[in-house]
């Protein structure tokens, strides 16, 4: 499956463009009903010639692997030419969906050796992310790696080093950072529409077995259809266990729990909106309260984060929560709360509610003023007027406004579009290795705090625990 020399030369030259940091796009979480004000707009999609085709290989063909494949193929120019998975049934399904001529293998190294593969999508268990990403970059492939970028904090800098050495594009798969909604939220935040940010209140609760990672296990599972030894990699050795393979998110050996699966999305979007590089103090609590099915990660996680003052933003706090045992039916919101209003990033768009906090103290009502003597009340009123004066009235603007997503919009496709542009012409990637580690860092440090029962001090600039 050789490629035309012209196309090979095009991709070689495009790869020299390098990557930096910039861009943005769709939502955190939450729902809110408010007044419709405006619709977020989409840029026209470019049309590419056959010589611009990007041959893509899927490494890991589970839920997210198939989701990434669908999104990638909505971007002009991508073609899936190979697939790798350790369960034979998924390779069969890939051929059923994408054609019998698709090259399939259980060994990802065979993918990296192929001359017809320009880019790889790594949608495997978290404990393989660093190994595969580094190997793919060293093999000269552009890499789309699912979040979190790494399984353990001490793995991140090696990935960044490999990215810089290779000069190849690396994008981490928290697709919300590429959303037109997150881009609009950044614009609104920087306009000062909610005043001075002081708190981000974010939660994402679930009330279903699938939401709690009890994924279906095929009836033909077993040592004959699953390459268990390859799956373990650098994880502790143990006998074959179907749950640990098909429900891997439930186990620390292969996944990163609630924080690595969900909190990392929230950090990613928050960092784009506020131009932040991360918190400096992290504390987590929670526990395994309900889903006692053999898992060793909590089903309720609460995180508290201190963001220091920086040039781009004031000091503020973040509180995050995920509850897999939500008897109220599940729900979510992501709210940036400021001194003059709140911005909610929701599935349908962005919603603003204005409510300015007055810096001039008032008197009367629920106040100690009513306990003063009659004469002191008169004296205090006179003093207040002399001290604060009569503020000039202000025009009343809209108290509520919304920006809605266009019908059928997908931030996932936008993220893949960003990746394609980076391969073709070196377009800046918002979520490269450095950004990816700054999002994964506080998420994984959340786990450290939970298991070690202590506050974690994090250096977001150097991306290390201190």
Output the six-digit token pair for 228.
Answer: 């268990």
The yes or no reply on domain 190-342+443-465 and CATH 1.10.3720.10 is no
Long-range residue pairs from 185-191, CB within 8 A, at least 24 positions apart, any chain: 185/273, 185/336, 185/343, 185/345, 185/350, 186/24, 186/272, 186/273, 186/274, 186/275, 188/343, 188/350, 188/352, 188/403, 189/273, 189/274, 189/336, 189/343, 190/275
Whole-angstrom distance, CA of residue 415 vs CA of residue 26:
10
94: Cα within 13 Å, side-chain hemisphere: 30
* Among 182, 462, 141, residue whose Cα is nearest residue 343: 182
Per residue of the chain (466 residues), give pLDDT as tens: 333 343 344 343 333 333 222 233 333 433 233 333 466 765 555 555 545 899 999 999 999 999 999 999 999 999 999 999 999 999 999 999 999 999 999 999 999 999 999 999 999 999 999 999 999 999 999 999 999 999 999 999 999 999 999 999 999 999 999 999 999 999 999 999 999 999 999 999 999 999 999 999 999 999 999 999 999 999 999 999 999 999 999 999 999 999 999 999 999 999 999 999 999 999 999 999 999 999 999 999 999 999 999 999 999 999 999 999 999 999 888 999 999 999 999 989 999 999 988 888 888 888 999 999 999 999 999 999 999 988 777 888 889 999 999 999 999 999 999 999 999 999 999 899 999 999 999 999 999 999 999 999 999 999 999 9
Every domain of the chain and the residues it spans: 190-342+443-465
What pTM does this model have? 0.88
Please report the beta strands in 153-240, taking only residues with DSSP state E, as ranges in sequence order: 170-173, 197-205
Q: Is the preceding omega at residue 148 within 30 degrees of 0, hence cis?
A: yes
Cβ-contact 138, 413 below 8 angstroms: no
Q: Which two tokens mark 263?
A: 């909190």
Please give the Cα distance from 448 to 433 (Å, whole number): 21
With beta carbons less than 8 A apart as the criterion, state whether 171 and 123 touch. Answer: no
Looking at the DSSP assignment, which residues form a beta bridge with residue 464? 459
């Amino acid at each position: 499956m050789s490629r035309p020399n012209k196309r090979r030369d095009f991709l070689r030259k495009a790869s020299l463009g390098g990557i930096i940091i910039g861009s943005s796009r769709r939502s955190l979480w939450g729902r809110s009903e408010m007044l419709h004000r405006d619709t977020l707009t989409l840029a026209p999609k470019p049309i590419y010639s056959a010589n611009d085709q990007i041959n893509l290989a899927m490494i890991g063909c589970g839920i997210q692997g198939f989701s990434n494949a669908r999104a990638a193929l909505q971007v002009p120019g991508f073609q899936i030419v190979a697939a790798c998975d350790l369960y034979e049934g998924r390779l069969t399904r890939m051929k059923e969906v994408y054609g019998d001529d698709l090259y399939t293998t259980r060994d990802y190294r065979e993918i990296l050796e192929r001359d017809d593969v320009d880019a790889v999508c790594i949608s495997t268990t978290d404990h393989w992310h660093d190994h595969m990403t580094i190997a793919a970059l060293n093999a000269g492939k552009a890499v789309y790696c699912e979040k979190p970028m790494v399984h353990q904090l001490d793995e991140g800098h090696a990935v960044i080093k490999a990215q810089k050495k290779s000069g190849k594009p690396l994008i981490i798969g928290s697709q919300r950072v590429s959303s037109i909604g997150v881009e609009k939220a950044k614009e609104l935040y920087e306009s000062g529409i909610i005043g001075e940010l002081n708190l981000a209140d974010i939660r994402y609760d679930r009330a279903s077995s699938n939401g709690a990672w009890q994924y279906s296990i095929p009836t033909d599972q077993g040592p004959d259809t699953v390459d268990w030894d390859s799956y373990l990699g650098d994880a502790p050795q143990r006998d074959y266990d179907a749950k640990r393979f098909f429900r891997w998110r439930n186990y620390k050996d292969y996944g990163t729990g609630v924080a690595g699966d969900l909190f990392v999305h929230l950090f990613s979007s928050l960092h784009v909106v506020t131009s932040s590089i991360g918190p400096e103090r992290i504390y987590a609590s929670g526990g395994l309260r309900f889903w006692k099915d053999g898992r060793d990660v909590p089903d309720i996680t609460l995180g508290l984060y201190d963001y220091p003052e920086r040039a781009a933003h004031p000091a503020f706090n973040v509180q995050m929560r995920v509850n897999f045992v939500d008897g109220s039916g599940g729900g979510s919101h992501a709210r940036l709360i400021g001194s003059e209003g709140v911005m909610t990033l929701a599935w349908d768009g962005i919603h603003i509610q204005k409510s300015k906090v007055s810096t001039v103290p008032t008197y009367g009502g629920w106040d100690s003023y009513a306990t003063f003597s009659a004469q002191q009340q008169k004296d205090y009123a006179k003093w207040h007027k002399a001290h604060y004066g009569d503020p000039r009235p202000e025009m009343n603007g809209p108290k509520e406004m919304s920006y809605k997503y266009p019908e059928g919009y997908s931030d996932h496709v936008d993220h893949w579009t960003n990746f394609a542009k980076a391969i073709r012409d070196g377009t800046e990637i918002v979520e490269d290795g450095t950004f990816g580690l700054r999002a994964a860092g506080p998420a994984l440090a959340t786990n450290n705090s939970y298991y070690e029962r202590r506050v974690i001090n994090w250096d977001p600039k150097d991306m290390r625990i201190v």
